Amino acid sequence: MATDPDLLFEEWLAEARLSEPNDPEAMALATADSEGRPSVRMVLLKGHDENGFVFYTNSRSRKGGELGASARAALLFHWKSLRRQVRIEGPAEPVPEAQADLYFASRSRPSQLGAWASEQSSPLESRALFEARYQQLAEQFGEGEIPRPKHWWGYRVEAERIEFWSDRAHRLHERRLFVRQADGWSESLLYP
């Protein structure tokens, strides 16, 4: 039976969880603006299944704006301890609101307050201003439940291509490429 790249990804992630010194779920997220200018930053993988790879962020951030502009993304995991990388490309879509609510509710209170306090990617006059905003919000919410800010949500990148790269001696690395087809995945090798 053909290899399922989603299962293979889970195997590699499980191995990375055992060997990486921190953040095995960290992945680079590449987006582009409406003129095709690329930008890249790290985010954390918060969910994965056959429907895609999920991360959470502020939709008013630079990446949020770029995902609005092109709705396509590329993800990259690099697990240094295993000498492996996984490249993922495909369209990105917001997750359903109920899913974003559920994940937001599972975050720590300080992270929830941080999501309210941060105008992610906008210029910040001073660190003190950010801390004052945070304090003010902490007092405003008191002991009450902190709802999800409407501009804070998750995106799911639905993989059209997944490539698994593993280090081999003398730079004769292995590259296994999976491409989504109407009836499943095709698998091929690429020269390193």
Ligand X SMILES: Cc1cc2nc3c(=O)[nH]c(=O)nc-3n(C[C@H](O)[C@H](O)[C@H](O)COP(=O)(O)O)c2cc1C
Residues with catalytic function: 171
Shortest Å, Cβ 94 to ligand X: 14
The correct pick among 120, 149, 160, 185 for binding ligand X (CB under 6 A) is 120
| Burial (Cβ within 10 Å: 0-12, 13-18, ≥19) of residue 156 | buried
Site for ligand X in 125-184 (CB under 6 A): none
- What span, in angstroms and rounded, lies between the C-alpha atoms of 7 and 164? 12
> Looking at beta carbons only, is 42 or 190 nearer to ligand X?
42
Among 48, 63, 87, 156, contact with ligand X (rule: CB under 6 A): 63
- First CA to last CA across the chain, in angstroms? 25
Q: Smallest distance, Å, CB 129 to ligand X?
A: 18
- In the bound state with ligand X, the residue whose beta carbon lies nearer, of 11 and 23, is 23
CB of 40 to ligand X, least distance (A): 8
Contacts (CB under 6 A) with ligand X, residues 18-37:
23, 26
Q: Which is nearer to ligand X, 3 or 39 (CB)?
A: 39
Distance, CA of 61 to CA of 41 (rounded, Å): 12
- How would DSSP label each residue in 80-117? TTTTEEEEEEEEEEEPPHHHHHHHHHHS-HHHHHHHHH
42 contacts: CB under 8 Å, gap ≥ 6: 26, 27, 28, 29
Least distance between ligand X and beta carbon 13 (Å): 15
Q: Which of residues 35-54 bind ligand X (CB under 6 A)?
A: 39, 41-44
Query: Which ranges constitute the DSSP H helices of the chain?
Result: 5-19, 62-70, 97-106, 109-117, 127-141
174 DSSP β-pair partners: 166
Asked if 103 is part of the footprint of ligand X (rule: CB under 6 A), the reply reads: no
Footprint of ligand X (CB under 6 A)? 23, 26, 39, 41-44, 55-57, 61-63, 120-121
